[in-house]
Amino acid sequence: MTTSRRTSTPTDIALISGFAALIAVAAILPAINLAGPVPITLQTFAVLLAGACLGATRGFLAVVLYIAVGAAGLPIFSNGAAGLGVLAGPTAGYLIGFPFAAALCGFLVQRLPRQKIQQSVPLVFAAGLLSSAVFIHTAGMAGLVLRADMTWAQAFDVDKVFWIGDVLKNIAMAFVATAVHRAFPDLLDRGTTTSGTTAVDTGASTSA
């Protein structure tokens, strides 16, 4: 049995826009403000969920759309902030890391066998946690060093406050993502045959 690659530009646009809106909602929900310039929000949950559900490319584009709309002036950053000034502030590194974290999470999830995506919460959790560590936390600390006049040690002290919350948010993300893929098994446009080779786009499914 083989499956050809099926794409739908309107569907992709709707999914990208929908997840960008989800990230915005997660960002403007009441934040927890601890010591330091970076509030705790549900943004990372939504960012990584976009990658895990949509895959690398569409997940990346959903986060970029969210950032672009916020930079254009819509108050959808944390604490209702908006404008290009946010991208020059102390939290800029976290924002810059978001789309790359979504892309990496999506890339890793797309590499999993479909049944694993639908059933393995630990694997999706690991993909999200690794993506968060590689891009969100690293870029976030770099932003604090560059924009908040902190040393790397001080930036690390600020960033480590978010670790436990990120673990919990990634657990929740993995449960939601696996449930989404069980409900919509074709959500990831994998475009491969059962043997792992790329199928020719004929605009229809073929089976044997």
Tell me: the pLDDT tens digits for 62-74? Answer: 999 999 999 999 9
* 124 closest CA partner among 172, 64, 192: 172
Say if residue 198's pLDDT is above 50: no
CA–CA separation, 162 and 34 (whole Å): 10
Closest alpha carbon to 5 in 190, 152, 183, 176: 190
Domains by residue range for the chain, with CATH: 15-183 (1.10.1760.20)
Is residue 100 predicted with pLDDT exceeding 70?
Answer: yes
Q: Mean per-residue pLDDT for 115-135?
A: 93
pLDDT of residue 199: 37
Q: What is the mean pLDDT of residues 80-95?
A: 91
Span 89-117, average pLDDT: 93
What local confidence, expressed as pLDDT, does residue 114 receive?
A: 81
pLDDT of 88 over the 70 cut: yes
CA dist 59 → 12, 101, 103, 149 (Å)? 10, 9, 6, 32
**CA neighbor of 133 nearest in space, from 48, 50, 29, 53:** 48
pTM, to two decimals: 0.84
* Residues 141-185 pLDDT 10s: 999 999 998 999 999 999 998 899 899 999 999 999 999 999 999
Rounded-to-integer distance, Cα 60 and Cα 104, Å: 9
Reading the block at residue 117, the tokens are 């995506």
CB atoms within 10 A of CB 90: 21
How much is the pLDDT for 32?
A: 65
CA distance 142 to 152: 8
**pLDDT(40) > 80:** no
pLDDT at residue 192 is higher than 60: no
For residue 36, the model assigns a pLDDT of 56
Top-confidence residue, 190 or 203? 190
